[in-house]
Amino acid sequence: MNTSELALQERIKELTCLYEVSSIIVNANSKEMIDTIRAIAVCLKKGFYAPNTTEILIETPKDRYKTGSIASEKQICSEIIVFNKVQGKIVASLLEKEASFLKEEQPLLDNVALKLGNLLERIEIQNNERSLKRQMEHADRLGILGEITAGIAHELNTPLANILGFAELLKEETELSKHSAVDLDKIISNAIFSREVVKKLLFFACEMPKELKELNVVPIVKESVALLDATFKKAEVRYTLHLEEELLMLRADKVQITQVVFNLVMNAIYFSPKKSTVHIDVFQSNKHLVLKVADEGIGLSEEALEKVFQPFFSTKPTGDGAGLGLSVVHGIVAGHKGTIVAENRKNKGAVFTVKLPKLD
Ligand SMILES: Nc1ncnc2c1ncn2[C@@H]1O[C@H](COP(=O)(O)OP(=O)(O)O)[C@@H](O)[C@H]1O
Ligand SMILES: [Mg+2]
């Protein structure tokens, strides 16, 4: 074969390789990216002049595959760029020291790296869309739940007030036997308990009246945490409290902000092992005042991550929790036009992040 025939043959090989890579990418399954990367590497190897002595390495943030051992001396390399950032590389290496790459082989590698970068971009966009959709569905569900809850709570409010009112009237009667008086007290205390539950449900549905005032949240957070000092001691849990500044102004309802801090910190203590630390941080971002409560406890299960803010979701043994704390917190935060997110920390434990809009 003469040189131009050889060159033509090489060109055909390269084009075939590119075509194959394209079809691998079109059929890529974003969940099994390692398969795609393996297939591309194998295909790329075949596209080189000396496939038997050429090895390919592909590296992305999540996956890494090589067709054989990579020699460090004779290499060509292309970066994989995803959203203008280098997110990996493709390396071709020749095992024979005397051999060299053809000049067309670098552009071939560049071309495949470009295609792979585009694929990774597409996957990232898809993932973002999916998580956004999930977030919206979640917010929707909480919204509907809020409406139903508010309805039920309203319906229960009047009969409960009646039960309480009439029971109190009865108590004023003088000729009540001692036994009846005790029973009546039970009715009253149970009615009061139910009224508290209804109040919490109304909080969740953001239907609690609030008194918004411009206030400094620093002393509020300090006082709330100080009130929990004894609870921390009893549980043998330590805490750190970091306040970025002494003056952090917000338009908010003082009692409700106290409730938010209280509920989050109480949960953190409850789920903290002895001798561990709860971290409470308050700082500002561009537009928000941020409150973070992080612990070193058991963290949140898949189910908990999805349901923590729903009323009556609780993993505590009955009697320890009614599962209303975080629904109340969610309601208050939403009522202040803020957001709250529950996540697991990298090492261990859960972290709750509340963001409230700053004063203009
Ligand atoms: N810091 C935390 N660590 C682990 N799980 C938590 C934490 N905070 C809340 N949870 C989960 O969310 C559930 C709901 O919390 P909450 O609404 O406060 O209700 P309750 O405290 O009555 O269970 C808890 O039972 C628990 O499963
Ligand atoms: Mg709680």
* CB of 313 sitting under 6 A from ligand 1: yes
Among 180, 204, 228, the domain boundary falls at 204
Is residue 138 domain-shared with residue 127, that is, in the same domain?
no
Among 186, 204, 222, the domain boundary falls at 204
* CB of 237 sitting under 6 A from ligand 1: no
Which atom of ligand 1 is found nearest the CA of 321? 22
* CB of 117 sitting under 6 A from ligand 1: no
* CB of 315 sitting under 6 A from ligand 1: yes
Is residue 100 domain-shared with residue 159, that is, in the same domain?
no
Which residues have CB atoms below 5 A from the ion given as ligand 2?
Answer: 267, 325
Instruction: Please name which ligand lies nearest the alpha carbon of 318.
Output: 1
By alpha-carbon position, which residue is closest to atom 7 of ligand 1? Answer: 267
pLDDT given for residue 1 in this prediction: 64
Is residue 263 domain-shared with residue 307, that is, in the same domain?
yes
Give the β-pairing of 350-357 and 288-294: antiparallel
Q: 266-280 b/e with 16+ CB inside 10 Å = b?
A: ebbbbbbeeebebbb
Residue that wins the pLDDT comparison between 205 and 60: 60
CATH code for the domain in which residue 185 is found: 1.10.287
pLDDT greater than 90 at residue 2: no
Element (H, E) at 163: helix 105-171
By alpha-carbon position, which residue is closest to atom 24 of ligand 1? Answer: 314
β-sheet with 75-82: strand ranges across = 64-66, 54-59, 85-94, 75-82
CATH code for the domain in which residue 339 is found: 3.30.565.10
* CB of 197 sitting under 6 A from ligand 1: no
DSSP state at residue 70: P
Residue that wins the pLDDT comparison between 103 and 3: 103
Measured between alpha carbons, how far is 77 from 58 in angstroms, rounded to an integer? 10
- Residue 233, C-beta contacts closer than 8 angstroms, at least 6 positions apart: none
Is residue 261 domain-shared with residue 321, that is, in the same domain?
yes
Is residue 231 domain-shared with residue 197, that is, in the same domain?
no
By alpha-carbon position, which residue is closest to atom 20 of ligand 1? Answer: 323
Instruction: Please name which ligand lies nearest the alpha carbon of 348.
Output: 1
Tell me how many domains the chain contains.
3
Residues in a beta bridge with 343: 351
Among 149, 173, 204, the domain boundary falls at 204
Ligand 1 centre distance from Cα of residue 210 (Å): 25
Is residue 106 domain-shared with residue 219, that is, in the same domain?
no
Question: Whole domain around residue 22: which residue ranges?
Answer: 3-131
Is residue 123 domain-shared with residue 45, that is, in the same domain?
yes
- pLDDT per position as a tens digit, 119-175: 999 999 988 988 888 887 877 777 787 778 888 888 888 899 999 999 999 988 878
Please give the C-alpha separations between residue 239 and each of 231, 248, 257, 268, 279, in angstroms, as whole numbers. 11, 21, 19, 10, 6
Ligand 1 centre distance from Cα of residue 313 (Å): 8
Element (H, E) at 131: helix 105-171
- pLDDT per position as a tens digit, 310-331: 888 999 987 787 888 999 899 9
Is residue 342 domain-shared with residue 222, that is, in the same domain?
yes
Is residue 107 domain-shared with residue 164, that is, in the same domain?
no
- pLDDT per position as a tens digit, 168-214: 999 888 788 889 999 999 999 999 989 988 888 887 777 777 888 99
Measured between alpha carbons, how far is 293 from 289 in angstroms, rounded to an integer? 13
- pLDDT per position as a tens digit, 240-264: 999 999 999 999 999 899 999 999 9
CATH code for the domain in which residue 63 is found: 3.30.450.40
- Residue 314, C-beta contacts closer than 8 angstroms, at least 6 positions apart: 320, 321, 322, 323
- What is the percent of the chain where pLDDT is above 90? 64
Ligand 1 centre distance from Cα of residue 342 (Å): 10
Q: Looking at 124-133, 203-212, 228-237, 293-302, which range is the least confident one?
A: 203-212
Is residue 329 domain-shared with residue 341, that is, in the same domain?
yes
